[in-house]
Amino acid sequence: MGKTLLDKVWDLHTVRELPNGQTQLFIGLHLVHEVTSPQAFQMLREKGLRVAYPGRTFATVDHIVPTDQQGRPFLDGLAEEMMVALERNCREFGVRFFDFASGEQGIVHVVGPEQGLTQPGLTVACGDSHTSTHGAFGAIAFGVGTTQIRDILATQTLALARPKVRRVRVSGNLAAGVYAKDVILAIVRTLGVNGGIGFAYEFAGDTIERMSMEERLTVCNMAIEGGARVGYINPDRTTVEFLKGRPYVPAGKDFDRAAAWWLSMGSDPDALFADNVNLNAAELEPQIAWGINPGQTVGVTERLPRPEDSRNGSRAGLEEAYRFTSFEPGQEVRQIPINVAFIGSCTNGRMSDLREAARVAKGRRVAGGVKAIVVPGSQKVQRQAEKEGLPEVFRAAGFEWRNAGCSMCLAMNPDKLKGREICASSSNRNFIGRQGSPTGRTLLMSPAMVAAAAIHGRVSDVREML
Partner 1 sequence: MSLDSKIPSVQGRAVAVPGDDIDTDRIMPARYLRCVTFESIGQYTFQDERFDAVGKPKAHPFNDPRHRGASILVVNKNFGCGSSREHAPQGILRWGIRAIVGESFAEIFAGNCTAIGLPVVTAAAAAVRELAAFASVRPDEPVVLDLSAKTVRFGDRTVPVEMRESARTLFLEGTWDSAATLIGAMDRVRETAARLPYLAWSPGR
Looking only at residues 8 through 27 of this chain, which bind partner 1 when binding is defined by CB under 8 A? Answer: 12-16, 18-22, 24, 26
**Should residue 6 be labelled a site residue for partner 1 when binding is judged by CB under 8 A?**
no
Which C-beta is closer to partner 1: that of 329 or that of 433?
A: 433
Cα distances from 280 to residues 170, 177, 183, 208, 276, in angstroms, run 6, 16, 10, 11, 14
Angstrom distance (rounded) from CA 133 to CA 31: 12
Shortest CA distance to 203 belongs to which of 130, 116, 266?
266
Question: What H or E segment, with its residue span, contains residue 214?
Answer: helix 213-221
Contact window for partner 1 (CB under 8 A) among 81-89, 279-287, 300-308, 335-343: 81-89
Pairing of strands 199-204, 230-232: parallel
**Should residue 238 be labelled a site residue for partner 1 when binding is judged by CB under 8 A?**
no
Q: State the nearest-atom distance from the C-beta of 161 to partner 1, in Å.
A: 6
Q: State the nearest-atom distance from the C-beta of 351 to partner 1, in Å.
A: 24
Which C-beta is closer to partner 1: that of 58 or that of 203?
A: 58
Angstrom distance (rounded) from CA 94 to CA 290: 44
Q: Scanning residues 316 to 375, which ones bind partner 1 (CB under 8 A)? A: 316-317, 320
**Should residue 52 be labelled a site residue for partner 1 when binding is judged by CB under 8 A?**
yes
Quick one: which of 412, 417, 448, 450 contacts partner 1 (CB under 8 A)? 412
Contact window for partner 1 (CB under 8 A) among 178-186, 282-290, 378-386, 434-442: 434-442
Q: State the nearest-atom distance from the C-beta of 77 to partner 1, in Å.
A: 9
- Quick note: the x/- pattern for partner 1 over 377-406, rule CB under 8 A, is ------------------------------
CA dihedral for 293, 297, 300, 305, sign (positive or negative): negative
Which C-beta is closer to partner 1: that of 176 or that of 251?
A: 251
Which C-beta is closer to partner 1: that of 124 or that of 462?
A: 124
Angstrom distance (rounded) from CA 244 to CA 255: 8
Q: State the nearest-atom distance from the C-beta of 321 to partner 1, in Å.
A: 10
**Should residue 282 be labelled a site residue for partner 1 when binding is judged by CB under 8 A?**
no
Other beta carbons within 10 angstroms of residue 334's beta carbon come to 16
Q: State the nearest-atom distance from the C-beta of 342 to partner 1, in Å.
A: 15
Angstrom distance (rounded) from CA 32 to CA 101: 17
Q: State the nearest-atom distance from the C-beta of 18 to partner 1, in Å.
A: 7
Contact window for partner 1 (CB under 8 A) among 77-85, 181-189, 345-353, 457-465: 77-85
Q: State the nearest-atom distance from the C-beta of 62 to partner 1, in Å.
A: 13
Note whether 339 and 364 are within 8 A (CB).
no
What are the phi and psi torsion angles at 280 (to 5°)? -100, 120
Q: Scanning residues 253 to 272, which ones bind partner 1 (CB under 8 A)? A: 254, 257-258, 261
Q: State the nearest-atom distance from the C-beta of 132 to partner 1, in Å.
A: 10
Q: Scanning residues 95 to 134, which ones bind partner 1 (CB under 8 A)? A: 96, 117, 119, 121-122, 127-129, 131
CA dihedral for 98, 103, 108, 109, sign (positive or negative): negative
Note whether 235 and 9 are within 8 A (CB).
no
Angstrom distance (rounded) from CA 465 to CA 446: 14
Angstrom distance (rounded) from CA 406 to CA 412: 8
What are the phi and psi torsion angles at 236 (to 5°)? -145, -165
Angstrom distance (rounded) from CA 416 to CA 31: 26
Shortest CA distance to 140 belongs to which of 159, 126, 152?
126
Sheet hosting strand 157-160, strand order edge to edge: 14-17, 23-26, 157-160
Size of the site for partner 1 (CB under 8 A): 93
Q: Scanning residues 286 to 305, which ones bind partner 1 (CB under 8 A)? A: 292-293
Q: Scanning residues 133 to 192, which ones bind partner 1 (CB under 8 A)? A: 142-148, 150-151, 154-161
How buried is 252 (Cβ within 10 angstroms: 0-12 exposed, 13-18 middle, 19+ buried)? exposed
**Should residue 458 be labelled a site residue for partner 1 when binding is judged by CB under 8 A?**
no
Which C-beta is closer to partner 1: that of 165 or that of 412?
A: 412
What are the phi and psi torsion angles at 331 (to 5°)? -75, 150
Which C-beta is closer to partner 1: that of 26 or that of 401?
A: 26
Shortest CA distance to 327 belongs to which of 424, 444, 193, 441?
441
Quick one: which of 7, 81, 209, 268 contacts partner 1 (CB under 8 A)? 81
Contact window for partner 1 (CB under 8 A) among 31-39, 183-191, 337-345, 391-399: 31-39
